[in-house]
Structure 1
Amino acid sequence: MEEEDEQEEMYEVQEILVDPKQKAVRIDKFVTDKLPRVSRNRVQNGIRSGSILVDGQPVKPNHKLSPGELISIVIPRHGDRPDGIVPQDIPLDIRYEDEAILIVHKPPGMVVHPGVGNPDGTLVNALAHYLSDTDIPVLPGNDNDRVGLVHRIDKDTSGLLVIAKTESAMSFLARQFFDHSIDRTYQAIVWGAPEPPDGTIERNIGRHPRFRQKYTVFDEDEGKVAITHYRTLSDMYYVSLCELKLETGRTHQIRVHMGSLGHPVFSDEKYGGDRIVKGTVYSKFKTFVERCFALCPRQALHAKSIGFIHPVSREYVHFDSELPEDMQSCLDRWHHYVDHRRANNQLEP
Structure 2
Amino acid sequence: MKKQDNTILPNSPYIFKVNNNYEGMRLDKFLKLKITGIQQSHLERLIGSGSIRVNQKKSKPSNRLNFGEQVSVPPKLKDQKFDQKVKTQFIPLKNDIKLLKSSLIKEENDFIALNKPSGIAVQGGSKLKRHIDGLIEYAFSNIEKHYLVHRLDRDTTGVFLIAKNKNFAKEISEYFKHNTIRKVYIAIVCGIFQNHEGTIDIPIIKERSDKSEKVVVDEINGLKSITNYKVLGSSENYSLVLLFPKTGRTHQIRVHLSHLGNPILGDGKYGGNFKIEKNINKISSLKLHCLQMSFPYKKIKNNIINARLNSDFSDCLKLLKLDKFLHVVNRYIENGF
Bin the TM-score by the shorter chain: 0.5 to 0.7
| CA gap 1:195/1:103 in 2 versus in 1, 3 angstroms | same
Is the Cα contact below 8 Å between 2:235 and 2:321 reproduced in 1? yes
Aligned residue number for residue 235 of structure 1:
234
Is the Cα contact below 8 Å between 1:191 and 1:239 reproduced in 2? yes
1:163 deviates by: 1.0
Query: Does residue 127 of the first structure (1) align with residue 136 of the second (2)?
Result: yes
Aligned residue number for residue 97 of structure 1:
107
Query: Does residue 307 of the first structure (1) align with residue 302 of the second (2)?
Result: no
- Match of 1:128, SS state, is helix
Q: Within 5 Å, give how 1:170-209 maps onto structure 2.
A: 170-208=169-207
RMSD of aligned alpha carbons: 2.7
Is the Cα contact below 8 Å between 2:105 and 2:114 reproduced in 1? yes
Q: For 1:16-73, what per-residue CA distance to the aligned partner results, in whole angstroms no more than 9, with x for missing partners?
A: xxxxxxxxxxxxxxxxxxxxxxxxxxxxxxxxxxxxxxxxxxxxxxxxxxxxxxxxxx
Aligned residue number for residue 53 of structure 1:
none
Distance in 2 between residues matched to 1:255 and 1:245, nearest whole Å: 12
Query: Does residue 112 of the first structure (1) align with residue 111 of the second (2)?
Result: no
TM-score (norm 2): 0.63
Distance in 1 between residues matched to 2:245 and 2:91, nearest whole Å: 32
Distance in 2 between residues matched to 1:326 and 1:170, nearest whole Å: 32
TM-score (norm 1): 0.61
1:324 deviates by: 1.5
> Which 4+ residue blocks in structure 1 deviate beyond 2 angstroms?
82-89, 128-131, 207-213, 312-316
Structure 1: gaps of 5 or more residues = 1-81, 140-146, 277-284, 339-349
2:133 partner letter: V
Q: Within 5 Å, give how 1:1-349 maps onto structure 2.
A: 86=90, 88=92, 90-91=97-98, 92=100, 93-118=103-128, 120-131=129-140, 133-134=141-142, 138-139=144-145, 147-208=146-207, 212-219=212-219, 221-236=220-235, 238-274=237-273, 286=277, 288-291=278-281, 293-294=282-283, 297-310=284-297, 312-335=298-321
1:84 deviates by: 11
Aligned residue number for residue 4 of structure 1:
none
1:337 deviates by: 11
| CA gap 1:148/1:275 in 2 versus in 1, 3 angstroms | closer
1:321 partner letter: A
| CA gap 1:111/1:275 in 2 versus in 1, 3 angstroms | closer
Query: Which structure exhibits the higher relative contact order, with contacts defined as CA atoms closer than 8 Å and separated by 6 or more residues?
Result: 1
Q: For 1:179-221, what per-residue CA distance to the aligned partner results, in whole angstroms no more than 9, with x for missing partners?
A: 10101111100011222110000111113476842211121x2
Aligned residue number for residue 20 of structure 1:
none
Distance in 1 between residues matched to 2:200 and 2:244, nearest whole Å: 11
Q: For 1:97-136, what per-residue CA distance to the aligned partner results, in whole angstroms no more than 9, with x for missing partners?
A: 0211101111100111111201x431111112244x22x6
* Identical residues among aligned pairs (%): 28
| CA gap 1:195/1:85 in 2 versus in 1, 3 angstroms | farther
Distance in 2 between residues matched to 1:112 and 1:336, nearest whole Å: 29
Is the Cα contact below 8 Å between 1:86 and 1:128 reproduced in 2? no
What is the total number of aligned residue pairs between the two structures? 232
Q: For 1:221-258, what per-residue CA distance to the aligned partner results, in whole angstroms no more than 9, with x for missing partners?
A: 22211111111012225000000011111111111100
Structure 2: gaps of 5 or more residues = 1-85, 325-337
